[in-house]
A and B are shown apart, each in its own frame.
Chain A
Amino acid sequence: MSRPPARAASAAPPAAVAAHAAPPLWVRLCHWTNAAVFVVMLTSGWQIYNADPFWIDGFAGYLTLGGSLPGALMWHFAGMWLLAANGLVALTLLAATGRLRRLYLSLGAGHVGGERSRVQKVAYLGVLSLLVLVALSGVSIWKPVQLQWLTQAFGGYQVARQVHFICMSLLAMFVAGHVCLALLSPRLLLAMLGLKRSAS
């Protein structure tokens, strides 16, 4: 559907500005909540892994949260609720506001009205899928009796632990790259912090 040019010009800001405009408040809140909870889940998860390592020897103590296994488990099973709640809010709003469809699921090459590039779309959808998988595999090793169908779907209890570990590793790698890129483009970082409304 084509719009009258004058209306389009007044309604939509120039592409470059739109791409750098501060995301809506709910995006920023969900993003930073997720970031904080992710750090808790990652570091407490490493401590839990250290109680029975299977692929690598273990994670250095200074990288872990909880002090020891009981403390780490308390952090992990508290963070779990916040991760899930925040994730559900984010996914619901991403779908309801059309942001997911507009920016990440459209088939264009990107950069029109803030639409992401193909690489960005793949990365974003990939990380969303990984977050869903890490949550489901985590739940499956938490409840291998009550939710045994889920544990079976991951290939049984021990395999589900490995799936959880792989998801964690891929997410950690994404976060490492994501943080590097964010530091290399301070304007986007400030926008996500809500400190900068748009690029000049």
Chain B
Amino acid sequence: MSDKIWTPDAATIDPGRRRLLRLSLGGAAAALLSGCDITSNETVETALKRVSRFNDAAQAALFRPQTLAPVFSRAELTLPFRFNAFYSEASVPEIDERTWRFKVDGLMRKPGEWTLAELKALMPVTEITRLVCIEGWSAIGQWTGVPLHHFLKLTGADTRAKYVAFTCADGYFTSIDMASALHPQTMLAFSFNGSDSLPDEFGFPLRLRIPTKLGFKNPKHLTGMTVSNTFTSGYWEDLHGYNWFAGL
């Protein structure tokens, strides 16, 4: 059960609290700036968010399901790999593998809970790809995991559904479009740079690795996955206004 671990799920944060959080962050950002901040003007913000929704559609149209992200050799690995989260490295959740479960539900024939051992038994693939952060930096790493399209097939997911949403042990959450979920390189990764498991700071025990999207669309410490037609946005997308599609 996901409630046994670390923190409650961010999806349970009620909209009112989320709005309050957003307002206080907006206030802090405004306070940091001298003079007026045109972006926090409500009309401007609404217009910019509308363009961002248009950009979601534009990127979905530009997305080619068979176009593969470049792959690299082991000599090109970025060492040490860069840590990134919405908290410092000291706050990385430590998850007990024995009690951890990956809970999958939504539009699928076989919802249920998976242990790490069960996931690792599913014919893993290994790939060296570039993780591109929205901040501009990038790093090359090697991930091993089960291709998401394979896992969706196993669970009898309705692949005509629009979204696949993820929840995490650290309160993070995000969602992706089905076309990107079915991309051959999208995987549920459980190993990094050839080690047995993911290191804590890079998402133990399970993370989404999706080289066709920006880094923040690669949620770590996964606890749940839901297939649905309901748009649920994501932590950075919802709270800070990052573009949702975030395709590369």
Interface residues of A (CB under 8 A from B): 48-49, 51-52, 61-62, 65-71, 73-75, 77-78, 81, 143-146, 148, 157-158, 161
Instruction: Check A67/B39 contact, CB under 8 A, given A143-B62, A145-B70, A145-B212.
Output: yes
Q: How far is the CA of A73 from the CA of B135 in the complex (A)?
A: 10
With both chains docked as a complex, state the minimum distance between the C-beta of B58 and any C-beta of chain A, in angstroms: 9
Instruction: Check A157/B132 contact, CB under 8 A, given A65-B38, A148-B70.
Output: yes
Interface residues of B, count at CB 8 A: 40
With both chains docked as a complex, state the minimum distance between the C-beta of A82 and any C-beta of chain B, in angstroms: 10
Interface presence of B211 (CB below 8 A): yes
Q: Is the CB of A157 within 8 A of B242?
A: no
Q: Is the CB of A52 within 8 A of B39?
A: no
Inside 8 A of A66's CB, which chain B residues have their CB? 39
Interface residues of B (CB under 8 A from A): 29-30, 32-35, 37-40, 47-49, 51-52, 55, 62-64, 67-70, 130, 132-138, 211-212, 236, 240-243, 247-248
With both chains docked as a complex, state the minimum distance between the C-beta of B54 and any C-beta of chain A, in angstroms: 8
Q: Is the CB of A74 within 8 A of B52?
A: yes
Q: How far is the CA of A54 from the CA of B52 in the complex (A)?
A: 27
Instruction: Check A68/B29 contact, CB under 8 A, given A77-B52, A157-B130.
Output: yes
Instruction: Check A70/B242 contact, CB under 8 A, given A75-B48, A77-B51, A81-B51.
Output: yes
Q: How far is the CA of A51 from the CA of B63 in the complex (A)?
A: 26
Total A-B residue pairs with C-beta atoms closer than 8 Å? 89
Inside 8 A of B52's CB, which chain A residues have their CB? 74, 77-78
Q: How far is the CA of A153 from the CA of B32 in the complex (A)?
A: 39
Q: How far is the CA of A161 from the CA of B133 in the complex (A)?
A: 13
Nearest-neighbor residue (CB-CB) of A51 within chain B: B135
Q: Is the CB of B134 within 8 A of A73?
A: yes
Q: How far is the CA of A49 from the CA of B136 in the complex (A)?
A: 8
Inside 8 A of B132's CB, which chain A residues have their CB? 144, 157
Inside 8 A of B130's CB, which chain A residues have their CB? 144, 157
Nearest-neighbor residue (CB-CB) of B58 within chain A: A81
Q: Is the CB of B242 within 8 A of A73?
A: yes
Q: How far is the CA of A81 from the CA of B64 in the complex (A)?
A: 21
Could you pull out 10 A-B pairs where Cβ atoms are within 8 angstroms? Answer: A71-B40, A73-B134, A75-B48, A78-B48, A81-B51, A143-B248, A144-B130, A146-B247, A148-B67, A161-B136
Nearest-neighbor residue (CB-CB) of B47 within chain A: A78
With both chains docked as a complex, state the minimum distance between the C-beta of B191 and any C-beta of chain A, in angstroms: 23
Q: Which of A49, A51, A74, A145 contacts B241 (CB 8 A)?
A: A74
Inside 8 A of A70's CB, which chain B residues have their CB? 236, 240-242
Nearest-neighbor residue (CB-CB) of A53 within chain B: B136
Q: Is the CB of A145 within 8 A of B67?
A: yes
Q: Is the CB of A67 within 8 A of B29?
A: yes
Instruction: Check A52/B133 contact, CB under 8 A, given A145-B69, A146-B64.
Output: yes
